Amino acid sequence: MTPRVLVAAAAERLGAAGVASPEHDAAELLAHVLGTTRARLPLVADVAADAEAAFDELIERRAARHPLQHLTGKAYFRYGELAVGPGVFVPRPETELLVGWAVDHLTHASGYPRSSAGLTAPVVVDLCTGSGVIAKSIAEEVPGARVHAVELDEPAHAWAERNLAGTGVDLRHGDAFTEFDDLLGTVDVVVCNPPYVPLEAWESVAVEARDHDPHLALFSGDDGLDAIRTLAVRAAALLRPGGVVGAEHADVQGESAPAVFAAQGSWEEVRDHRDLNDRPRFVTARRTARGARTGE
């Protein structure tokens, strides 16, 4: 059977199952089975019976709302890809904007990288690293930076180890909001994609995320802001005066997430940023020259 016929039939099955991008996912899964790319599928004249059977099995699992990335074993992010699977949060395209902000700050706003001139390289900390995607992207795009990352969940940490191997990132297994006492007051940039889904929003979370992403990476108290409140305190302690923090949040937290930083007392230039769909997506702030307030 030709790829076109197989993809069309599979897309119909996926659409009926509620998959948001049935044509894309069907083509991606067939390309995965055939060891090629979606763009090259038209060059395949006929799909062998064993490959067709493997494809059908993957379509059945995708129709059951297993994440596409778990089925292919990889996720694309900015300029590369990384390994993902059961036990780790699948990175979303929206997070690329947070990484872009951090990279822009490191390479332009503060004159980084500086290590080639023999000066101190910028220090970056990625809290709640999950798959390691943010740390990996920054390490690859800003080679002069000294990047540190931490993940508490053991299965997710194992994925981060795999993705960060050979990058030079200092990966630690521990609590994002107590780790790195050795870096207090020395960090230039803190980045974090924390859990931010309110517990009451359980039913509204996409099946792929709710049933397959670690709940530790999703839910954060009744209003979804518990981790962001802790982040506002811990980032202030980690950063040097003038250092900056960037944190992703839910699109309904465009006012409440910045308000957390504004109220904490250690921040100035608190600003929210919108994604490509013009939805609130992440907050940034600059550490004041005053002492961090760690008791809140």
Residue 127: CB atoms within 10 A of its CB come to 29
Question: CA-to-CA distance for 148 and 135, rounded, in angstroms?
Answer: 7
CB 265 within 8 A of CB 210: no
pLDDT band at 214; cut points 50, 70, 90: confident
Mean pLDDT on 100-112? 80
Indicate the helix (H) or strand (E) that contains 98: helix 95-104
Query: CA–CA separation, 188 vs 169, rounded Å?
Result: 15
pTM of the model: 0.88
How far is residue 141's CA from residue 107's CA, in Å, rounded to a whole number?
A: 9
Distance, in Å, from the CA atom of 151 to the CA atom of 172, rounded to the nearest integer, reads 7
Q: Of all residues in the chain, what percent are helix, strand and coil, respectively (each to 5)?
A: 45, 20, 35
How would residue 202 be classed by pLDDT, with cut points 50, 70 and 90? low
Q: All domains of the chain, ordered by start, with CATH?
A: 3-64 (1.10.8), 85-287 (3.40.50.150)
DSSP secondary structure code for residue 184 in this structure: T
pLDDT in tens, 121-178: 899 999 999 999 999 999 999 998 999 999 999 999 999 999 999 999 999 999 999 9
The Cα 101–Cα 111 span in angstroms is 14
Q: What mean pLDDT, rounded, does the chain reach?
A: 90
Q: Is 295 exposed, middle or buried (0-12, 13-18, 19+ CB in 10 A)?
A: exposed
Rounded to whole angstroms, the Cα distance separating 207 from 180 reads 35
Instruction: Report residue 222's pLDDT band, with 50, 70 and 90 as the boundaries.
Output: confident
> Per residue in 52-93, pLDDT tens?
999 999 999 999 999 999 999 999 999 999 999 999 999 999
Q: Are 157 and 168 in contact (CB under 8 A)?
A: no
